[in-house]
Amino acid sequence: MRTFITLILAALVCIMPLAAQTQARALGADISWCTEMEADGMQFYNTDGQPTDIFVLLRQIGMNAVRLRVWANPEQRYGAWSDRADVLAKARRAKAAGLDVLLAFHYSDYFADPGKQTKPQTWATLPFDDLKAAMVAHTVDMLQALRNDGIEPRWVQIGNETTSGLLWPEGRIRWNEPDSVRWLNYIVLSNAAYDAVKSVCPNAYVIVHHDMGRIDQTWYYTAFSKYGGKFDMIGITHYPDWDKWGEQNTLVANYLRKMHTTFRVPVMIVETAYSNWDEPRAAMVMRDFAQKLSRAPGYAGIFYWEPEVYGGWEHWLRDDGTSQHNTGTRGAKVSGYGAFTPDGRPAEALYVISGQPVPSGSR
């Protein structure tokens, strides 16, 4: 009898971590544009067509987290959105709605991605050591402001899609140099950001984020680790193509499994979305993706990128520096990737991410 009980307890020990991991998965969305949209008069609606706070609405449909980007001094170019005050305001609303927060530092005044990692304007001429110090101070200041409000991000992303480094040119990965030189400055900066996060939020998962999840990125994190790069979690981006989505979704799930096995850390889809020109198709693609991810060991969660965009709304500064401002009441879905219906309610693709059934009458 004692042997039988021992075997049962051992089985429970094996099962419980898996159950806990499943429950802890992030099911969320990056809704960083929401305050700007609200300032333009946009509203968000529940299934019954009632105006509802976007954070409350996400919680109602089964989401448990939001991703919020942080820009250093966006008012220099864009406007006071995703700056310290705006992020604090959104984080407070997230906490009030019972949502965890993923904080995504771009270390830029505007969008950073593999094609551009532009330093904040006020850091532009700083020597390397001063540049690192400014990045650390910015990180600590934002996180401490959140902590002062009783908000501790569960995850912190140090740079956005840092495929070729961050804070160019100093922190750019120098692909034409030998490995030990190639990674040096980027890893110095990345590790400084990692340590800054841990100094304020020791329990947060620190994420190093790479784009193009459908390409095997194991080599990247192998080299990053070899030369001392630190991370608690891998974050990847995946925007499925219009027609090759099935194959690509499979590749992402396979590579996620491989990275978890290789590095023994969780892997999270921190950005995903699909064209909203065909809403039933978007739901089908996301359902396929979610099902494949759910079978992958190490899968830590998923964030839909800016699903709240609808009705033609577009942020007013494009990447090429030209301005466009559309109040969003009419027109095409120019953002291309939202997951709300034309009348401002969550579309089926977003329910797929949250794992909840679409309420009757809302299709």
pLDDT in tens, 108-123: 999 999 999 999 999 9
Residues in CB range of 286: below 8 A, 6 or more apart: 272, 274, 304, 349, 352, 353
Residues in CB range of 333: below 8 A, 6 or more apart: 276, 277, 309, 310, 311, 312
> In the beta sheet, which residues pair with residue 103?
68, 156
Please give the pLDDT value at position 324.
56
Work out the pLDDT band at 356, boundaries 50, 70, 90: very high
DSSP 274-309: --TTSHHHHHHHHHHHHHHHHTSTTEEEEEEESTT-
Euclidean distance between CA atoms 276 and 75, whole angstroms: 30
**Collapsed DSSP state (helix, strand, coil) of residue 235:** strand
Quick one: how far is CA 265 from the chain centroid?
Answer: 17
Residue 295, pLDDT > 90, answer yes
Q: What separation in angstroms does the CA of 144 have from each of 31, 45, 149, 278?
A: 22, 33, 9, 42
Please give the pLDDT value at position 319.
59
As given in the structure block, the two tokens for residue 75 are 């008012």
Work out the pLDDT band at 69, boundaries 50, 70, 90: very high
Which long-range CB contacts under 8 A does 242-247 form with residues at least 24 apart?
Answer: 242/275, 245/274, 245/285, 245/288, 245/289, 246/288
For the chain, domains (ranges, CATH) are 26-354 (3.20.20.80)
Please give the pLDDT value at position 359.
85
Q: pLDDT tens-digit profile of 205-264?
A: 999 999 999 999 999 999 999 999 999 999 999 999 999 999 999 999 999 999 999 999
Residue 270, pLDDT > 60, answer yes
Of 78 and 260, the one with more pLDDT: 260
For the entire predicted model, the pTM comes to 0.90
